[in-house]
A = this chain, B = another copy of it.
Amino acid sequence: MKAYRDLSREELLLLKEQLEQEFVDVKGKGLKLDMSRGKPSVAQLDMGMDIFDVLNSGSDLTSMDGVDVRNYGVLDGLAEAKHMMADIMGVSAEQVIVYGNASLNVMYDAVSSAMTHGVMGGTPWCKLDKVKFLCPAPGYDRHFAITQHFGIEMITVPMTPQGPDMDMVERLVAGDDSIKGIWCVPKYSNPQGYSYSDETVRRFANLKPAAKDFRIFWDNAYAVHHLYDEEERQDRILEILGECEKAGNPDMVYEFASTSKISFSGAGVAAIASSQKNLECIRRTMAIQTIGHDKINQLRHVRYFKNFDGIREHMRKHAALMRPKFEAVETVLERELSGLEIGTWTKPKGGYFISFDAMEGCAKAIVAKCREAGVVLTGAGATFPYGKDPRDSNIRIAPSFPTPGEMQMATDLFVLCVKLVSVEKLLEGRNEA
């Protein structure tokens, strides 16, 4: 295929006409698909239904260390739930506090508590003139929403296939003590599906932040969310807590994980992993905030998955559903856009998203065009701080929720919109020239 930019004005105009006709046809089909969020599909959720048979009216609801999970007590989670969440994060159970149904809430609480009470004895952030976070972007919009909510200034750090631009991260955190944190999705990142290289993780562990209360918010959301069963096709990342300890920075990380995309979304079990000093500080706040999280749901999860092998086995079933959809998107993108030089995209081996970069200035228009024909994508810009993609280029594709057939239709529409908007953009440029 010839790159669009090498087409003549006449060729572009002709192409535009064809594409517009195709768009009218597709629009006529009356699609109605929501690909805006990383939601598990119904088929995935159906796979976890046996969890409801794990506990019944005859069950013994005593935990392994003798706790009646139906009653108050056990602030920081059942021992067996700590083990389960530790296995997911590749840490030890002593490094874990188990929470309620979602890790987003744990992250929110971590920032909120730093605002009102500071981090490990430091000044409450709300008492400081300025608090800043580094935001590798494209990234997760809900991370950025938390920092924005608390009036924390966000500094965009470019992402690379090896992780955030570490030269920039090192320089910024060393030189500015108002920089208190950085948002990271280290494995199968949202939205690009990149996994941090060993060098990146080590450079994180060896940061020399000017702020003593600087914390890395390590959202290990997709720790076990591989698309392929073969180990050589799975990403591995270094375990950050251990690396930080080696580097003499034992307290620098809050790691988060949940089973939201393992068992059920919004009805799973979440957890934090950190150093003992951080956990002690967190427990002091937790003791005020709650008598304890839902231990029955913790027990239900542990008895269902049994052990880490059980989780891996379950995730292999998820992968069998996710893989064809990711591959269908990639096949269509490859077939329809390859060589046109109007977009690039990532080819993740796990996680929930594919990241697409359109020609500069086209993302918003593509998303709007898709919506016009009935396919809702994540809003353009959402993957950047303040919802503003400076290049208006990045689009997050979420293949998890639709069926494979729907995914096919949605991607066909998507590439059509990419072509159409790109042609319009190129023609605009010609007119201006």
Interface residues of A (CB under 8 A from B): 37, 39-40, 42, 45, 48-53, 55-59, 68-73, 100-102, 104-105, 108, 112, 115-117, 124, 126-127, 142, 145-146, 149-150, 260, 264-267, 285, 288-297
Q: Are B104 and A289 in contact (CB under 8 A)?
A: yes
A-B contact pairs, 6 of them (CB 8 A): A39-B71, A53-B56, A100-B294, A264-B296, A266-B295, A267-B296
Given known A50-B57, A72-B266, A285-B149, contact A294–B294 (CB-CB < 8 A): yes
Measured between C-beta atoms, what is the minimum distance from A48 to chain B in Å? 8
Q: Are B266 and A39 in contact (CB under 8 A)?
A: no
Given known A290-B105, A294-B294, contact A266–B71 (CB-CB < 8 A): yes
Q: Are A108 and B289 in contact (CB under 8 A)?
A: yes
In the assembled complex, the Cα of A256 lies from the Cα of B183 at a distance in Å of 34
- In this complex, which of A37, A72, A260 has the most chain B Cβ atoms within 10 angstroms of its Cβ? A72
Q: Select A108's contact among B72, B288, B296, beta carbons within 8 Å.
A: B288
Chain B residues within 8 Å of A126, by CB: 115-116, 124, 126-127
Q: Are B264 and A71 in contact (CB under 8 A)?
A: yes
Measured between C-beta atoms, what is the minimum distance from A54 to chain B in Å? 9
Q: Select A116's contact among B53, B72, B101, B112, beta carbons within 8 Å.
A: B112
In the assembled complex, the Cα of A56 lies from the Cα of B59 at a distance in Å of 14
Given known A112-B112, A285-B149, contact A265–B70 (CB-CB < 8 A): yes
Q: Select A292's contact among B57, B266, B293, beta carbons within 8 Å.
A: B266
Given known A49-B57, A52-B57, contact A267–B70 (CB-CB < 8 A): yes
Q: Are A149 and B49 in contact (CB under 8 A)?
A: no
Q: A112-B112, A146-B289 are in contact. List 5 more A-B contacts (CB 8 A).
A: A50-B57, A52-B55, A73-B266, A108-B290, A149-B285
Measured between C-beta atoms, what is the minimum distance from A135 to chain B in Å? 15
In the assembled complex, the Cα of A37 lies from the Cα of B57 at a distance in Å of 26
Q: Are B288 and A149 in contact (CB under 8 A)?
A: yes
Q: Are A39 and B150 in contact (CB under 8 A)?
A: no
Given known A68-B45, A70-B45, A71-B40, contact A102–B290 (CB-CB < 8 A): yes
Measured between C-beta atoms, what is the minimum distance from A140 to chain B in Å? 12
In the assembled complex, the Cα of A328 lies from the Cα of B150 at a distance in Å of 52
In the assembled complex, the Cα of A401 lies from the Cα of B100 at a distance in Å of 25
Chain B residues within 8 Å of A290, by CB: 102, 104-105, 108
